[in-house]
Structures are given as C-alpha cells and as structure tokens.
Amino acid sequence: MRFIRYLDQNKQPAFGWVLEDKAGRLEGSPFSEYRRLEPEWNLDQVKLLAPVNPSKVICVGRNYASHAREHNVDVPELPLLFFKPPSAVIGSGHPIYIPPQSNRIEHEAELAVVIGKSGRWIPAEKAREHILGYTIGNDVTARDLQRSDKQWTRGKGFDTFCPLGPWIETNLDPADALITCRVNDEMRQMASTREMVYTIPQLIAYASSFMTLSPGDVILTGTPAGVGPLQAGDSIEIDIEGIGVLRNSVKLEPARST
C-alpha cells in the first residue's frame, strides 16, 4: 500500500492513499487505525507533502563502501549516525534552496525507512515489526560547510535539505532495490541497496540501543557513490525500484525578508 500526505481543502495536512493513478482520503492515520475511502482524485492533481512529519531524521554516514572510497575515508566500525532537523523536510515537487553560505551543494540519493511502532532496544530480528514502510530521501549536503565545520549540523541541516517522498510504500523488499539518481537526465548514482554496509535491521537495533524510535521517525540509510554538485536551475530525480520517483528542482534561496 502507498500512503501520501497532502493539504486538504482547509489547508491542513491530511493522509491519503494511492491506488494506481488515483488517490483517496484516509480516515485516521497510517500509524494507528485507519479506513481507506474510495479514490476520488487523479494522483497528478494532488499537491503532495512529505509523506511523514518526523520527530527526528536519523542519517547514516558512509554506509556504502563505494561512497566512503570516493571521499577517501574508511567504512566506520560502528554505524556513523547524525541527524537532520525536521525543519529540513520537504516533499516531492518542492524546490531545494541553495543557501548563500555555501558554494558546494551536493545530492545524496538514499532509501528512507519510516518507523511505524515505537521502540527502544529493538533486536535486529524484530526490526521489521517496527517499520511502517519505505520512501525515498535526498540527504542534501553543503559539502564545503560539512568539511569546514567540525560538526555536520549546519552542512546537513539547512531548510529544504531533506526531500522525502513521493509516498510511503509498505510493500517493499529493501534487501535488493535499485537506486538511481539523475540530474537534468544525466545519470549520477546507480547502486543496489544490497551494497549497504549495515543492514536496516542492524541500523534499527543500533539506533534504538540509545534512543527511542517513534512512529513517523525516518532513517536515511546512506548514499552510494556518485554524489555530485547541484546548481540553481537543476532538476533531480531519484528513483528507487518498487517505490517510485522523488522529484525536486533546485533554486537560489529567496531573498530574506527582514
């Protein structure tokens, strides 16, 4: 099943669901009880929000050996976790804004896990029970600031630096899904999720050993080789087999209104 979020007629975020090229309302929430109402709109007429509003976005650094190699660093001995703030999250179709502080913005195409059930000390073999589904993430990074700041908070944390979407797919085998990333139709990244160093159950077990995972939390599982620059005017498409396509344009951040 595919869950979406959109703005309803009162401009409030609401959950919906997708059936082929149609979308319908959801009574309730995918994180508790829900009822699917008859699909009533064409999917391409629905303005999608990010499919979830997470309390935290947990990211994994260097989880593909190919990406660690292109930055000349080793694969870490434990998962290397960091956060993106929830304020960075945008949906498919929303522009990524290049902030004035950076001269080097890069894309990182990633499989994103959406937590469905709260948990602490989740054993790897029970991780599946805590997953609602999967979506596509782009861990947009100001590479120059990531390098010059000792912490990654700023380089990873600007508004719009966490596109998620287009929806949550509950029916996916994440062990061997093809990820591709195109910028203006030029292929930049292509890899299978089977190349991950730490598997999704291992990441959930490790993260939940020190923090409670809550419904709606998102884990970005790391990016394969091929990260590269984004410029104003670019359009970026990240495709994950079995989920769909996350599309975003790139613009300069609009002038600050003070």
Residues that bind Zn ion (CB under 5 A): 108, 139, 223
119 versus 155: smaller Cβ distance to Zn ion: 155
Query: Closer CB to Zn ion, residue 4 or residue 80?
Result: 80
- Nearest to Zn ion of 108, 234 (CB atom): 108
The closest of 206, 177, 170 to 194, measured between CA atoms, is 177
Pick 2 or 182: Cβ nearer Zn ion? 182
With tokens 């998620």, the residue in question is: 164
Nearest distance, CB of residue 86 and Zn ion, angstroms: 17
CA distance 196 to 32: 31
Phi then psi for 248, rounded to 5 degrees? -145, 145
CA atoms within 13 A on the CB side of 15: 19
Residue nearest Zn ion (C-beta atom) = 139
| Shortest distance (Å) from residue 35 CB to Zn ion | 36
Distance in angstroms (rounded) separating the CA atoms of residues 130 and 3: 17
CB of 24 to Zn ion, least distance (A): 33
Tokens of 41: 């709109």
- The C-alpha atoms of residue 189 and residue 196 are separated, in whole angstroms, by 14
Q: Whose Cβ is closer to Zn ion: residue 47's or residue 71's?
A: 71
**Residue 224 CB-density burial (10 A; 0-12 exposed, 13-18 middle, 19+ buried):** buried
CB of 52 to Zn ion, least distance (A): 18
Provide the minimum distance between the beta carbon of 63 and Zn ion in the complex, in angstroms, as a whole number: 8
